[in-house]
Amino acid sequence: MLTKKQLDDIHSLQQICEEAENIKLKLNWDTLKSRPADEKNDYFHYDQSGKLIGYLALYNFGGPVEICGMVHPDHRRKGIFCSLFNEAAKQLTEANKLLINAPATSESAKGFIKSLPCTYSFSEYQMKRHKSASIGANNPEVTMRKAESSDLDFINHLDTVCFNIPKEEAEAFNNNTNFDCENEKTFIIEYKRVKSGKIRIQTEEDAAWIYGFAVDPLFQRKGIGRSALTNVVNLQHSRGINWVHLEVAAENDHALSLYKSCGFEPYGTQDYYEFN
């Protein structure tokens, strides 16, 4: 588990790096705040004065292991990130796939990635909507309820058929889900009282994030996704949340069109590269 000082140091370095290049780093703060005590996923480089100038994080969501990191603008080209990367690589001998995440507009990240045996894999759009944006009315036939452990098989099924995640990887990730977590909840979407999809909402202060939004292929093209998204957005805004965020694969034109029509606007792009 990361200490408060470590979290504060990461946040301060993140702000410096983002302002220097006008980028948004994807550090998955909900994950950083709940790191398992018996796992090493975070690597730090401090200077002689005790200031954090380099950081790398590993994320294992049940499938490919993801890497994201940063180096203080004044200390780049000194081999700091390479050193952190090589140290972390020792922990990845059993990973079936390693994905390096970088903001699409970060020139420093592109420079580092060019030095590695990597191939471009995919991109994600980061999107957000403000409560002032208009959105449609709720469909009473589309409802949501809090997910329970008895829904795990259905949740795993959706991850497999909607996101092409191998069954064993979906089970490895979802079996660790805490359905009683206060600020991160999974909901089952029902259409006419029949399970048809799922959506996960993580909230923190004045913002909410949508993850794992999926509708079973058997129920698609019925407006269920739009109605569920409308329900979620209206609920979060009614609770005083001003901004709702989500991420979508850049090549998913259908989902991108849906989110834009519901008032979401892209504000950043994250590129992923597979380490060979």
Domains identified in the chain and CATH numbers: 4-116 (3.40.630.30), 129-267 (3.40.630.30)
Residue 170 identity? A
Q: pLDDT-based confidence at 39, cuts 50/70/90?
A: confident
The radius of gyration of the chain from alpha carbons, rounded to an integer in Å, stands at: 19
Facing residues of 268 across strands? 126
Q: How far is CA 246 from CA 130, 132, 156, 265, 270, in A?
A: 12, 17, 20, 10, 12
Percent of the residues in the chain that have a pLDDT greater than 90, as a whole number: 63
Confidence at residue 54, expressed as pLDDT on a 0 to 100 scale: 97
Work out the average pLDDT over 8-34.
93
Can you tell me the distance from the alpha carbon of 241 to that of 239, in angstroms, rounded to the nearest whole number? 6
Can you tell me the distance from the alpha carbon of 47 to that of 111, in angstroms, rounded to the nearest whole number? 23
Confidence at residue 139, expressed as pLDDT on a 0 to 100 scale: 85
pLDDT at 43 over 70: yes
C-beta separation of 23 from 17 below 8 A: yes
pLDDT at 138 over 80: no
Confidence at residue 180, expressed as pLDDT on a 0 to 100 scale: 83
pLDDT tens-digit map of 159-187: 999 988 888 888 888 887 888 888 889 99
Reading across the β-sheet that carries 243-249, which strands appear in turn?
42-46, 52-60, 65-71, 98-103, 265-275, 118-130, 243-249, 207-215, 194-204, 184-191, 142-146
| 107-111, 113-117, 178-182, 230-234, range with the lowest pLDDT | 178-182
Can you tell me the distance from the alpha carbon of 163 to that of 64, in angstroms, rounded to the nearest whole number? 13
Confidence at residue 242, expressed as pLDDT on a 0 to 100 scale: 92
Work out the average pLDDT over 238-254.
89
pTM of the predicted model as reported, rounded to 2 decimal places: 0.83
Can you tell me the distance from the alpha carbon of 74 to that of 262, in angstroms, rounded to the nearest whole number? 41
Work out the average pLDDT over 57-80.
90
Helix (H) or strand (E) run with residue 258 in it: helix 253-261
Q: How far is CA 55 from CA 45, 181, 234, in A?
A: 6, 28, 37
Collapse the DSSP code of 45 into the 3-class scheme (helix H, G, I; strand E, B; otherwise coil) and give the result. strand
Evaluate the CA torsion angle 169, 101, 205, 209 in order and state its sign: negative
Average of per-residue pLDDT values in the chain = 91
Can you tell me the distance from the alpha carbon of 233 to that of 223, in angstroms, rounded to the nearest whole number? 16
Percent of the residues in the chain that have a pLDDT greater than 70, as a whole number: 99
Can you tell me the distance from the alpha carbon of 167 to that of 149, in angstroms, rounded to the nearest whole number? 17
pLDDT tens-digit map of 189-240: 999 999 999 999 998 878 999 999 999 999 999 999 999 999 999 889 988 9
Q: pLDDT-based confidence at 62, cuts 50/70/90?
A: low
Can you tell me the distance from the alpha carbon of 166 to that of 96, in angstroms, rounded to the nearest whole number? 12
pLDDT tens-digit map of 73-105: 999 999 999 999 999 988 777 777 899 999 999
